[in-house]
Structure 1
Amino acid sequence: MNMRVDHRQALQTALSPQMLQSVELLHMTALDLHAFVAAEVEQNPFLESDGPAPTPTAPAAGPPPPGRGAGAGGASDFDRAALVADHLSLHESLEQQFGLLTRDPVLRHIGMHLIRALTPDGYLDDPLDLIALQAGTNPLRASEVLKMVQSLQPSGIGARNLAECLALQLRENNRLDPAMQALLDNLPLMARGDLAALRRLCGVGEDDLREMFAEIRRLDPRPGRAFDSAPLQLVVPDVFVTRAADGGWGIRVNEAALPRVLVNMSYYHELRRDLKSAENRSYLSNRMRAANWLVQGLDQRMRTVLNVATEIVRQQADFFDGGIERLRPLRLRDIADTLGIHESTVSRVTSNKSMATPCGTLPMKFFFPTAIGSAGEGGSHAADTVRHRIREIIKAEPARRPLSDGAIAARLEAMDIRIARRTVTKYREAMNIASSVERARQAARRPAA
């Protein structure tokens, strides 16, 4: 019988309890942090809470649109709010999203009229002509702005009927092909279960038709209802970004929303003086060590969040000055390398955290958009910026000679944005903008000026 003994060496990194606690604190939201600290204070005799947890307050009325000088007049609104509601009403959420979509005051005015006309289910029941009259515009312009509203979340919002609601959701998922459109055009036949007629109209077999049925049933016919049924969630802005007196940006941690604890050293010495047992003395020492770790961990968390937020604002300064079209691609690694910390630390800091800015209360992850390649040496571009450019190109195109997706891709390349035609198509459809063929048909149906 042969016996073999292998010796292997391996390096392992063991995190100390203090390091583990620091990692956990960094990943917590402010509300989770309050709950954690309250539990620690309850079980540790040497910890004392220094003040009550913050009381939820109503969010400021809609944030100003992103753009130059947006922070000059709105900073005090954010200073007054230690907490803002993450679960807004349907209309509040859409208005905030629309404010990020465009800075044009006319488009914002029309968009607000359309949003406020939506039913709780998210449908636009009022005639578009009537809304256009109320907004002081023409139906054609109102129809164009409605497409912008329909590009917002939740998907399917702003539809005028069930078929359009389902089409919007399918288009966002790149699932609205001619067969599916034919099915949507004949929903009464689906309700009656007339498979033979639908197979003929859609040009598909029975198995394909049943898969299409299943896909339709997975969609949400009442997208606005999610705002009424979801429980209230509160998000605490971890950082405030406000316009500074010198025209730059001031960044500060929302200290009012952070738990504050004190270590009662006198009580510790008083108890320790009267104890004789080594076991009891060891217990007190461990409790005191845990109390000090917590205080140090909270301080380190605050400094790390502030450092990361400051670097985000520095690298995205163009966004704060110029709006969504100037948002640049940014990676977690970019922040980590600049600050000399690990990328996972930046990931923990930016998860479940938000920044109250003059452009609205935004999740930190918002500032890390997907990158689109550059055609030259100008670096990459944020996907949100590219979508904005596509919208602007289509807005400026000749009404009766709309640009194809290939032509739009060529225009973008001239702007130093390298993007494939199919990507233009994907972005255009996600924004609920019709194809060039359909835009040409729409232009042909309009009365001559």
Structure 2
Amino acid sequence: MSLSPRLEIRQGQGLVITPQLQQAIKLLQLSSVELEAYVEGELERNPLLQRDEGEHGGETEAPERQAETGEVALDRMTTERGAADMDAASADSYEASPGERDCGDRPVAEASEAAGDGYQTGGAIDWSGANKGGSFDRDDNGLEGALQSADTLAEHLEKQASLAGFSTTERAIAQVLIDGVDEAGYLRADLDDVAERLGCGLELVEAVLARLQGFEPTGVFARDVRECLTLQLKEQNRFDPAMAALIENLDLLAKRDLPALRKVCGVDADDLKDMIAEVRGLTPKPGAAFGGEPSAPVIPDAMVREGPGGLWLVELNSDALPRLLVDQRYHARVSAGARGEADKTFVADCLASANWLVRSLDQRARTILKVASEIVRQQDGFLAFGVEHLRPLNLKTVAEAIGMHESTVSRVTSNKYLATPRGVFEMKFFFTAAISASNGGADHSAESVRHRIKQLIDGERDPEGVLSDDRIVEILNSAGVDVARRTVAKYREAMRIPSSVERRRVLKEAC
């Protein structure tokens, strides 16, 4: 057999992920906030795209565009936006309810009227981008709001360091230590490393640290929780030997082992109770109040409300859906002014990209609506009666019901939220593992079992009535839930519920 290069032509079939398909997949898994940021970038890059800010945004043109010739418009295409071309019927389909469906027999709840009136579209959050410019004529804080931004923890500490009277060397050490403080206010830098890096003695670094630990907020620059609490107690002049013993034995306090704490601290029960109350009044994370990012509001992608006859109606949230238009008239004008091949190619690429983005957004909205409608159909018991009636559900069940692949359903449910009369939930919440029934009946949802365990523990009122994990297993088995003791312990620990021994000790103290 000879080895030699040769040229062959073969024909075959294979799956190819085109850039357009990659874009559609990317859009599908983006959250509403990420999608808004992506659309903003496309609006800046593509002059043929424009946000639909009104019911008939595609029928009028901006005054500056009406005055432009095709040649001038072509030169400005890299910085301008166009109007649009998706008709109002397609846009309004987002607000309609093609997913309205009968989700099982359900009696009309008393709260149906309140639930039905609880959702309003538009106005709550402005996604139009109309007020994102630099004008100070709008109704917000303007320049004052920009100047009144809160300082970060590092900035707050640097201001104090500039007034502390440090020498040049001490100021350099203080700056390095400030850089080593985390968001909670704890010093994560090693003092030996700081001394070696700056070429100074460890004693000088420790002296600077001692002065920095007197900064506000009290407890900052501590290296662990014990030191943080000690600094705060010293500032309050409450760090006596008994309190020092309590701080050194925080592990006993966490276990609620009060007899051992009384022995270690050398105090009676009343004094120990007062000391514990003082410790609870301290701040274990002194830097948490500085420089925190504002929490982003959760914007539901779809909403569920109760309709007439006990049916559940599913509709998309128009506030979470960017509505884009393609300006065909602007495209025609610019195309007529394009003289070179490069200009014509650029205009054609912009048009193809704009049309594909609009179609991708429309397909994304329809897919979300399909998945949300199927979730509501599967979990109508939860909507009607609460978490105890949450059914086991997996991606495969939903995918087979709507004729899609499991990966598509997984992307749709990631970072997407569903507003229901019982609150706003991430779509992943409705997918729970199944726990077999001991009597051969229908499987139970893991989430409903966790809820049942929490209810049993919340019902404990006296030390004699504390339920062990084995006793909880017996109660669940008698209710038809086939669950093991290790599963109960795992669920209890996941909910951060202490063991029966610790709960019994707490109830004895309360009595």
TM-score class, shorter: 0.5 to 0.7
TM-superposed CA distance for 1:374, in Å, is 2.7
Per-residue CA deviation, residues 271-325 of structure 1 (Å, 9 max, x unaligned), is: 3334453443232222111111011111101100111111111111111101111
RMSD between aligned alpha carbons? 4.1
1:369 and 1:68, CA in 2 relative to 1: closer, same or farther beyond 3 A? farther
Q: Which residue of 2 aligns with 1:48?
A: 50
SS in 1 for 2:294: coil
TM-superposed CA distance for 1:372, in Å, is 2.6
Q: Which residue of 2 aligns with 1:29?
A: 31
Q: Which residue of 2 aligns with 1:264?
A: 327
1:25 and 1:227, CA in 2 relative to 1: closer, same or farther beyond 3 A? farther
Q: Equivalents in 2 of 1:426, 1:362: separation in Å?
A: 23
Q: Equivalents in 2 of 1:285, 1:334: separation in Å?
A: 42
Q: Equivalents in 1 of 2:45, 2:494: separation in Å?
A: 52
* Gap regions ≥5 residues in structure 1: 53-66, 85-120, 122-161, 164-184, 192-200, 203-219
Q: Which residue of 1 aligns with 2:470?
A: 406
Q: Which residue of 2 aligns with 1:383?
A: 446
TM-superposed CA distance for 1:328, in Å, is 1.8
Which moved further from structure 2: 246-255 or 396-405?
396-405
Q: Equivalents in 1 of 2:290, 2:387: separation in Å?
A: 25
1:24 and 1:398, CA in 2 relative to 1: closer, same or farther beyond 3 A? closer
Q: Which residue of 1 aligns with 2:432?
A: 369
1:420 matched to 2:484? The reply is yes
User: Contact 1:46 / 1:263 at 8 angstroms: preserved in 2?
Assistant: yes
Q: Equivalents in 1 of 2:286, 2:117: separation in Å?
A: 34
Per-residue CA deviation, residues 121-173 of structure 1 (Å, 9 max, x unaligned), is: 9xxxxxxxxxxxxxxxxxxxxxxxxxxxxxxxxxxxxxxxx99xxxxxxxxxx
Which moved further from structure 2: 277-286 or 13-22?
277-286
TM-superposed CA distance for 1:224, in Å, is 11
Q: Equivalents in 2 of 1:440, 1:235: separation in Å?
A: 39
The one-letter amino acid of 1:49's match is: R
1:252 matched to 2:254? The reply is no
Q: Which residue of 2 aligns with 1:319?
A: 382
1:76 matched to 2:117? The reply is yes
The one-letter amino acid of 2:399's match is: A
Q: Which residue of 2 aligns with 1:14?
A: 16
Which moved further from structure 2: 72-81 or 351-360?
72-81
Per-residue CA deviation, residues 237-259 of structure 1 (Å, 9 max, x unaligned), is: 11111111221211110113321
Per-residue CA deviation, residues 68-125 of structure 1 (Å, 9 max, x unaligned), is: 55553134333257668xxxxxxxxxxxxxxxxxxxxxxxxxxxxxxxxxxxx9xxxx
User: Contact 2:393 / 2:432 at 8 angstroms: preserved in 1?
Assistant: yes
Q: Which residue of 1 aligns with 2:416?
A: 353
1:188 matched to 2:252? The reply is no
Tell me the TM-score normalised to structure 2 length. Answer: 0.53
User: Contact 1:69 / 1:321 at 8 angstroms: preserved in 2?
Assistant: no
1:238 and 1:226, CA in 2 relative to 1: closer, same or farther beyond 3 A? farther
* Gap regions ≥5 residues in structure 2: 55-107, 126-183, 185-224, 227-243, 251-259, 262-282
SS in 1 for 2:482: coil
Tell me the TM-score normalised to structure 1 length. Answer: 0.59
The one-letter amino acid of 1:304's match is: T
Query: Number of matched residues?
Result: 313
Percent identical: 40
Q: Equivalents in 2 of 1:330, 1:223: separation in Å?
A: 43
